[in-house]
């Protein structure tokens, strides 16, 4: 998805021109991980292990990269962990766990008003389109990059350089926000500015610090 709402050739303070947000765990509560923890607790499975197994399965079956299906993902996860539940019920539980953070969307709108280009960079499937149909948030962003449509996720370091190229800005002009430390490290290695979301207070302080740094 792209939009002409904003031009990418603006000059802003701090050297940052583009701010990219992860979806689950940043813009919204982490519905995937939190739901798998809850399901594990309900079914007597290992609540510490199931989220990791879920991430491995979503990659191993190709679902997150657009080469597999939700049915293949749930089948693989059930086979590996003993998880119970029908595909539709499990998917709905995950959807219910993704709850947008209104204050975060207000922050996005404020950044738009200050002249920054904003976008989503997410290891999500077509589920993100369905979540947008439910919650209507895509219109707040200039660009939406989803691994499902790109055939490449944030575990692949080359993704970050590709995104910068498509935005036609130097990687250093991009601030990337993710709750996963590995993704943050890979973005930094690609030359982007990046911060790890932990909580609201720390995020807001680090965001303003990053935006005010000289380019």
pLDDT (mean) for 61-83: 97
> Does 146 lie in the same domain as 136?
yes
Q: What is the pTM of this model?
A: 0.91
- Nearest Cα residue to 183 out of 73, 21, 15: 21
Helix (H, G, I), strand (E, B) or coil at 97: helix
What pLDDT score was predicted for residue 191?
96
> Does 108 lie in the same domain as 18?
yes
CATH code of the domain containing 152 = 3.40.50.1000
> Does 108 lie in the same domain as 89?
no
What pLDDT score was predicted for residue 213?
81
Take residue 163 and report the two structure tokens written for it. 């995104």
The residue to which tokens 């609201």 are assigned: 200
Can you tell me the distance from the alpha carbon of 50 to that of 83, in angstroms, rounded to the nearest whole number?
9
In this structure, is residue 187 part of a structural domain?
yes
Tell me which residue range forms the domain holding 190: 13-29+99-212
> Does 111 lie in the same domain as 183?
yes
Return the percent helix, strand and coil in the chain, to nearest 5: 55, 15, 35
Q: Which residue has the higher pLDDT, 146 or 212?
A: 146
> Does 172 lie in the same domain as 74?
no
Q: Which pLDDT tens digit goes with each residue over 158-195?
A: 999 999 999 999 999 999 999 999 999 999 999 999 99
**pLDDT averaged over every residue in the chain:** 93
- Number of independent structural domains in the chain: 2
> Does 161 lie in the same domain as 68?
no
Q: Is the pLDDT of residue 41 over 70?
A: yes
């Amino acid at each position: 998805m792209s939009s002409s709402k904003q031009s990418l050739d603006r000059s802003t303070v701090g050297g940052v021109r583009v701010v990219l947000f992860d979806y689950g765990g940043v813009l919204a509560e982490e519905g995937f991980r939190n739901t798998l923890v809850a399901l594990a607790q309900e079914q007597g499975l290992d609540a510490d292990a199931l989220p990791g197994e879920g991430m491995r399965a979503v990659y191993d079956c190709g679902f997150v990269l657009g080469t597999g299906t939700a049915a293949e993902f749930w089948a693989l996860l059930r086979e590996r962990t003993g998880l119970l539940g029908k595909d539709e019920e499990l998917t709905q539980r995950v959807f219910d766990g993704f709850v947008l953070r209104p204050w975060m969307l207000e922050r996005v709108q404020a950044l738009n008003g200050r002249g920054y280009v904003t976008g989503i960079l997410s290891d999500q499937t077509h589920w993100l389109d369905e979540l947008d149909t439910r919650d209507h948030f895509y219109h707040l962003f200039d660009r939406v990059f989803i691994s499902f449509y790109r055939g490449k996720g944030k575990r692949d370091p080359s993704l970050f350089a590709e995104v910068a190229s498509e935005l036609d800005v130097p990687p250093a002009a991009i601030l990337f926000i993710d709750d996963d430390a590995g993704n943050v490290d890979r973005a930094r290695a690609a030359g982007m500015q990046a911060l790890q979301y932990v909580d609201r207070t720390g995020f807001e302080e680090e965001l303003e610090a990053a935006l005010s740094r000289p380019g």
